[in-house]
């Protein structure tokens, strides 16, 4: 049997990743805030990021952080990131407007209800015009 020379996830070949963006979500299973990576980066999205809760619990759910992380994969489980330089975990300046809206409280925009009006068809009576000429 020949081993494949092509990696299944070439973006995970590195061990240390700099400037990763992650979003805070509340993990109900562990009852504390956690981080997940965002889409649009050269790494897979929705990877969990291990970070002390006291660092990220100061700001509400949905806040985006910028951090450096090391890729960890133990016992064949799903890979995850572990923060390096915990002192440098900070809110992302690139997402300043987003983070500011989260802190002020985003107005929940409920989807607008679309209603269709029934168009009443006017019944046009059959008008018989008789050709009456008075000349």
For residue 68, give the CATH number of its domain.
Answer: 2.40.50
DSSP alpha helices (H): ranges in 1-135? 53-56, 96-104
Q: Is residue 5 part of a domain?
A: no
Q: Report the distance separating Cα 108 and Cα 13, nearest Å.
A: 40
Q: Where is pLDDT greater, at 27 or 9? A: 27
Q: Is residue 97 part of a domain?
A: yes
Print the domain residue range for 76.
Answer: 11-104
Tell me which of 8-22, 23-37, 95-109 is least confident. 8-22
Q: Is residue 66 part of a domain?
A: yes
Q: For the chain, what percent of residues have pLDDT higher than 90? A: 24
* DSSP-assigned states of every residue in 76-101: T---EEEEE-GGG-EE-GGGHHHHHH
Tell me which of 17-26, 56-65, 70-79, 102-111 is least confident. 102-111
Quickly state the pLDDT bin for 1 (edges 50, 70, 90): very low
Spell out the residues 6+ positions from residue 127 whose beta carbon is closer than 8 angstroms to its own: none
Q: Is residue 6 part of a domain?
A: no
Q: Is residue 114 part of a domain?
A: no
pLDDT exceeds 70 at position 55: yes
C-beta neighbour count of 119 within 10 angstroms: 6
Q: Where is pLDDT greater, at 126 or 42? A: 42
Contact (CB, 8 A) for 38 and 45: yes
pLDDT exceeds 90 at position 111: no
- The number of domains in the chain is 1
């Amino acid at each position: 049997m020949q081993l494949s020379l092509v990696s299944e996830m070439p973006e995970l070949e590195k061990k240390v990743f700099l400037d990763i963006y992650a979003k805070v979500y509340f993990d109900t299973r562990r009852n504390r805030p956690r981080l997940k990576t965002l889409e649009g980066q050269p790494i897979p999205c929705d990877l969990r990021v291990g970070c002390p809760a006291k660092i990220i619990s100061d700001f509400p759910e949905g806040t985006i952080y910028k951090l450096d992380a090391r890729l960890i994969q133990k016992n064949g489980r799903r890979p995850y990131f572990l923060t390096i330089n915990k002192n440098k975990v900070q809110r992302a300046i690139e997402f300043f407007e987003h983070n500011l809206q989260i802190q002020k409280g985003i107005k929940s925009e409920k989807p607008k209800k679309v209603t269709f009006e029934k168009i009443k068809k006017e019944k046009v009576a059959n008008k018989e015009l008789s050709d009456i000429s008075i000349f």
